[in-house]
Structure 1
Amino acid sequence: MKSPFMTVLAGAVTSLAMGTAVAQSDFPSKDLSYIIPFGPGGESDISARLQQEYFTDITGQEAVIEYKPGGGGAVAWSQFNDMPADGHTIIGTNLPHIILQPLAKDVGFETDDLNNFYFFHYSPDAILVPADSPYQTLEDLVEAAEEAPGSITFSGSGTYSANHVAQTRFDELAGITTTYIPYKGTGAAVTALKSGEVSAEWGYSTVAANHQDDTRMLAIASSERHPLFPDVPTFQELGYDLEGGAYRGMAVPQGAPEEAKQRLSEIFGEINQDPEFVQRMQELGFFLVDVPADEVDDFLAERRAEYEEVARAFDLID
């Protein structure tokens, strides 16, 4: 991890570099306003609350969480650049939301309006069935979908969400037709699964972690098996090139000082490397990623290319 301070040769320090070092060492100079663009209790909130104590340990300041829900995050994202841009106000950002929402309709912001400085984890997509489901394996479910196209119904967290993206991509990869039913949030999608309203759920590994007693995960869209579920194969192991989920990051308003943006990237990167934090996140079913400020543009470009393929299937773009 890069240090915020540079070790330099005597006589080679410019006044600009010295000024930057001072700015970074003094930041943050007050508590951080950490906006969650959803209601309390969701995965964005859970991870932010875990980050809080480590942020205080590193900086001596508090990360004060505020909730501004609405429009699947769009309400807060569309208003964010009107907020103070001194680096002490940040907002949680989610993929694919911040890319697909502006493609689908006018939501008051464009993807590039959000000045992302770090992406820190993702919840891998996963197929879940009730514990008593007749589908013991992914291939059992695929065979049923082949025999009766459209008859296998999936609950999922909203339209144009990571779950919706995964369902669309998997149907194409497997050569099947299933029916996706969007619900208002992961909780409602789980309830639909447990009540028998649907055959299965496009959920996340985090859902499986929270409902291990009455659900079964058939496959996970990660590059490797999750430590909590060593017996659950990845889609790639089963021959399907499917990897991804709901990615979470953070942004500062446009115009925030570059030094503050870099320092925030370093702080949250340090949190992401803390062994205790890593363990706690894994126990909740997350996978950590480490995308610092100077790699964010490339990361978003890769995700955009992936989501635009699905956006064509959604008829959002030509």
Structure 2
Amino acid sequence: MIGTTARRLIGATALAVMGMAGAALAFPDGPVTYIIPFNAGGESDITARYQQQPFQKITGQDLIVQYLPGAGGAQAWAGLNGMPGDGQTIMGTNLPHIVLQPMLQDPGYKTEDIANVYMFHFTPDALLVRADSPYQTLQDVIDAAKKMPGGITAGGTATNSANHVANQLFANASGAELTYIPYTGTGATESALVGGEVDVLWGYTTVAVRQGDAVRPLAIATEERHPLFPDTPTFKELGIDMVGGAYRGIGVPSSTPEDVRQQLSDIIGQVNADPAFRTQMENDGYAVIDVPYADMDAFMAERTAAYTAVAEQLRAQQ
């Protein structure tokens, strides 16, 4: 790793010299390391794997996925700006994590430290139970939770995450308080639900697709019923005003030149437009979105305002 980093730093210096001489920076000029801030098997990992083939087809370079889990992603994000800014190292970023973590604690970075270049998909929240769960409807969960406050455990990915936010919004709207149990990644939460460690799971439509008959979604946080789950009601249908989930994108070290950021943004936009990639994502329950680098400031401002509304409640739990 030390040798690789040294080579990248040397390469970045050479490119900077070329830039000063009036030549355009080339990106990518070799394999690109794609750091995922969570364990293997979760949503971030799966979608990064889906991006590998179209990225290679578009650029001629390999996209190499590596993992740096810890502190709900904060360990990786806190170290992002210490990595080479030559475009050959990129990192998965997640909302609301990168907004709520700095707002509610000291994770070693600030939201504005993260240079996001593209947000490429969204996964709707879903409340899931095991196939053999006694809870047949969302109302069953609400009724049970009100009879024994805190007695029902709800798994989710990390704290100050989309799952954590969903748990709090649900409590606000329904009056049913669940005991939130954070796990290191979506893959771990799935095992926790199927293995009986938790009663319900704050997951996503994607989890329901992967687990198939092993789980049942009780409600989904979309405006309209999800096409893959036409028999599952939305939270809004059931009188709970919840529409949301997790956004995932790609960030780069702050030292990355503007033209490299733009080139990377353009490439990820091309990946998103790849028909095979889109079909794969949509069949798995993901919603492909396109927020390029040019639109990122406005997008982040809108999402930050939305998360601020629930931040103080999450702070009180820590």
Q: CA deviation at 1:187?
A: 3.5
Q: CA deviation at 1:101?
A: 1.6
Inter-CA distance 27–115: structure 2 relative to 1 (3 Å threshold): same
Aligned to 1:180: 180
Identity of aligned residues (%): 54
Give 1:262-281 correspondences, 5 Å limit: 262-281=262-281
Inter-CA distance 225–272: structure 2 relative to 1 (3 Å threshold): farther
**Aligned with 2:142: secondary structure?**
helix
> Cα RMSD between the aligned structures?
2.3
Aligned to 1:23: 24
Aligned to 1:4: none
Aligned to 1:221: 221
1:41 and 2:41 correspond = yes
Aligned to 1:80: 80
**Aligned with 2:57: secondary structure?**
helix
The separation in 2 between residues aligned to 1:86 and 1:190, in whole angstroms, is 36
Aligned to 1:283: 283
Inter-CA distance 108–316: structure 2 relative to 1 (3 Å threshold): farther
Contact 2:39 2:184 in 1 (8 A): no
The separation in 2 between residues aligned to 1:279 and 1:305, in whole angstroms, is 32
Aligned to 1:98: 98
**Aligned with 1:212: secondary structure?**
helix
1:292 and 2:301 correspond = no
Contact 2:118 2:249 in 1 (8 A): yes
Contact 2:38 2:185 in 1 (8 A): no
Q: Which runs of 5+ in 2 are unaligned?
A: 1-19
Inter-CA distance 210–162: structure 2 relative to 1 (3 Å threshold): same
One-letter amino acid matched to 1:190: E
One-letter amino acid matched to 1:162: A
Inter-CA distance 69–157: structure 2 relative to 1 (3 Å threshold): closer
One-letter amino acid matched to 1:23: A
- The structure whose residues are more often helix, as a share, is 2
The separation in 1 between residues aligned to 2:307 and 2:316, in whole angstroms, is 11
Q: Deviations over 1:115-163 (max 9, x none)?
A: 0010011222110112122322222322333444333331222222211
One-letter amino acid matched to 1:36: I
Q: Deviations over 1:167-203 (max 9, x none)?
A: 1011101232232222333334333333444331111
| TM superposition score normalised by structure 2 | 0.85
One-letter amino acid matched to 2:68: K
One-letter amino acid matched to 1:207: V
Inter-CA distance 286–173: structure 2 relative to 1 (3 Å threshold): same
**Aligned with 2:229: secondary structure?**
coil
Deviates more, 1:109-118 or 1:254-263: 254-263
One-letter amino acid matched to 2:112: D
Q: CA deviation at 1:56?
A: 1.4
Contact 1:228 1:282 in 2 (8 A): no
Deviates more, 1:132-141 or 1:284-293: 132-141
The separation in 2 between residues aligned to 1:37 and 1:294, in whole angstroms, is 24
One-letter amino acid matched to 2:225: R
Contact 1:205 1:285 in 2 (8 A): yes
The separation in 2 between residues aligned to 1:204 and 1:278, in whole angstroms, is 18
Q: CA deviation at 1:103?
A: 2.2
Aligned to 1:64: 64
The separation in 1 between residues aligned to 2:66 and 2:197, in whole angstroms, is 34
Aligned to 2:134: 134
Deviates more, 1:117-126 or 1:281-290: 281-290
Inter-CA distance 264–223: structure 2 relative to 1 (3 Å threshold): farther
Q: Which runs of 5+ in 1 are unaligned?
A: 1-18
The separation in 2 between residues aligned to 1:184 and 1:267, in whole angstroms, is 30
Q: Deviations over 1:219-241 (max 9, x none)?
A: 11123333322222222233322
Aligned to 1:154: 154
Contact 1:219 1:233 in 2 (8 A): yes
Contact 2:38 2:184 in 1 (8 A): no
Contact 1:193 1:200 in 2 (8 A): yes
Deviates more, 1:218-227 or 1:205-214: 218-227
1:120 and 2:143 correspond = no
Contact 1:227 1:282 in 2 (8 A): no
**Aligned with 1:225: secondary structure?**
coil
One-letter amino acid matched to 2:28: P
| TM superposition score normalised by structure 1 | 0.85
**Aligned with 2:126: secondary structure?**
strand
Contact 1:127 1:200 in 2 (8 A): yes
The separation in 2 between residues aligned to 1:293 and 1:168, in whole angstroms, is 31
